[in-house]
């Protein structure tokens, strides 16, 4: 704010207050998770005098979060791998190859972007049940892929359309067929997009609760986020352990955010249409 330095500082004050309000909930939860139950009842605000790793251990083992954590990890890894493979293949075909029906297919995929999960969840649950895919890992993976594939294709296609035609032509003259161009040009050159879109897809799948609730009814198949929703009932009298469970679910996302902040923001601004 050139020329108006003091007004800049004046605006920075409420913005700092808001920044504090943005991180305070996480800090409060972390602090509570470190308290003993007794300390929490006496004074929930004071800085924890001890670090109660027991709370984290309790939520992890008796709370069942260990199991749910692994479930989430497996499902998210499989879904993201499939999303990136299918999304980059389709994105390449749609952005660099002209073939009969390509325009109609592109519009169809765009249309699928505007179908929210809530609108199709009833018939989808029935289809999945009919194919014996409900309450199975492949079923949930498939549901995630179907949910986030249009978004992934759209972003991959828009990224690939920025790769100059000359590069592709040169590879063709070198004797590559389309599969060769995909493998030798599109995968290596598409790495930045694959990384940021992959992270965003992983966050979407990791954070989801509605699809997981619908697709995985049995307790041992719960994902981490579904597991978190059950903590409150389990630990209604043990708030520190409840807070520890919430913390366990939040920390992986926090770590990913701190490392890949720039990539996440890039992918969000490239699409901005969440599922």
Partner 1 sequence: MQSVRSAWAGRTDGTAVTSPRPLGEGQPASRRKRPGADRLAPYVLIAPAVLIIVVLRLWPLVLGVNFSFTGDGDRNGTPVGVSNYLELFRDPVFRIALRNVGLLVLLLPVAVAIPGLLATFIFLRVPGHRLFRSVYFFPAVLSPVIIGAIFNLLLSADGPLNALLGAVGLEPVDWLGEPKLAIFTVVAVHIWATFGMALVVFLAGFATLDTTLLDAARSDGASTPQVIWHVIIPGLSRTIQFVFVTTMIGMLTSMFGLLFVMTAGGPGGSTYLPEYYIWIQQGQMNRPALASAASTVLFLVMLVVGLAQVGLLRRSLRED
* Residue 207 Cβ vs partner 1, minimum distance, rounded to whole Å: 4
Q: In whole angstroms, give the CA distance from residue 192 to residue 84.
A: 12
* Residue 176 Cβ vs partner 1, minimum distance, rounded to whole Å: 10
Q: What is the DSSP letter of 46?
A: S
Interface of this chain with partner 1, residues 119 to 138, rule: CB under 8 A: 119-127
Say whether residue 158 binds partner 1 (CB under 8 A).
Answer: yes
Phi, psi of 169 (to 5 degrees): -60, -45
Q: Which of 59, 134, 197, 249 binds partner 1 (CB under 8 A)?
A: 249
Q: Which of 36, 37, 207, 234 binds partner 1 (CB under 8 A)?
A: 207
Only one of the segments 10-18, 48-56, 61-69, 73-81 lies at the binding site for partner 1 (rule: CB under 8 A); that segment is 10-18
Mark residues 30-59: x for contact with partner 1 by CB under 8 A, - for none. Answer: --x-----------xx--------------
Say whether residue 112 binds partner 1 (CB under 8 A).
Answer: yes
Among candidate residues 97, 79, 121, 83, the one with its CA nearest the CA of residue 210: 121
Q: Which of 3, 47, 218, 233 binds partner 1 (CB under 8 A)?
A: 3
* Residue 52 Cβ vs partner 1, minimum distance, rounded to whole Å: 16
Interface of this chain with partner 1, residues 170 to 199, rule: CB under 8 A: 172, 177-179, 182, 192-193
Q: Give just the sign of the alpha carbon dihedral 89, 92, 95, 101.
A: negative
Only one of the segments 53-61, 63-71, 73-81, 163-171 lies at the binding site for partner 1 (rule: CB under 8 A); that segment is 163-171
SS3 state of residue 274: coil
CB neighbours of residue 8 within 10 Å = 11
Q: Which of 26, 73, 167, 187 binds partner 1 (CB under 8 A)?
A: 26
Give whichever of 2 and 38 is closer to partner 1, judged by the CB atom. Answer: 2
Q: Give just the sign of the alpha carbon dihedral 142, 147, 152, 158.
A: positive
CA atoms within 13 A on the CB side of 72: 26
Cα angle: 239, vertex 217, 273; to 5 degrees: 85
Say whether residue 77 binds partner 1 (CB under 8 A).
Answer: no
Rounded to a whole number of angstroms, the CA Rg of the chain reads 23
Phi, psi of 2 (to 5 degrees): -65, 140
């Amino acid at each position: 704010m050139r020329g108006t330095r003091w007004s800049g500082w004046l605006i920075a004050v409420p913005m700092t207050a808001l920044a504090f309000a943005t991180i305070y909930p996480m800090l409060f939860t972390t602090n509570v998770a470190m308290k003993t139950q007794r300390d929490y009842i006496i004074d929930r605000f004071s800085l924890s005098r001890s670090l109660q790793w027991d709370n984290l251990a309790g939520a992890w083992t008796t709370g069942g979060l260990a199991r749910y954590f692994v479930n989430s990890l497996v499902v998210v890894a499989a879904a993201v791998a499939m999303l990136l493979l299918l999304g980059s293949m389709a994105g390449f075909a749609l952005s660099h190859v002209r073939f009969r029906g390509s325009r109609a297919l592109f519009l169809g995929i765009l249309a699928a972007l505007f179908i929210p999960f809530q609108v199709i969840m009833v018939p989808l649950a029935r289809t999945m049940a009919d194919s014996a895919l409900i309450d199975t890992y492949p079923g949930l993976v498939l549901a995630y892929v179907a949910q986030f594939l249009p978004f992934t294709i759209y972003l991959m296609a828009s990224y690939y359309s920025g790769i100059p035609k000359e590069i592709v032509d040169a590879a063709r003259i070198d004797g590559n067929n389309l599969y060769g161009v995909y493998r030798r040009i599109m995968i290596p050159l598409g790495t930045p997009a694959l990384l940021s879109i992959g992270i965003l897809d992983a966050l979407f799948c990791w954070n989801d609760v509605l699809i997981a609730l619908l697709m995985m009814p049995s307790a041992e198949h719960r994902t981490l986020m579904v597991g978190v929703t059950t903590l409150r009932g389990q630990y209604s009298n043990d708030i520190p352990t409840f807070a520890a469970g919430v913390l366990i679910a939040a920390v992986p996302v926090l770590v990913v955010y701190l490392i890949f902040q720039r990539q996440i923001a890039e992918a969000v601004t490239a699409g901005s249409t969440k599922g």
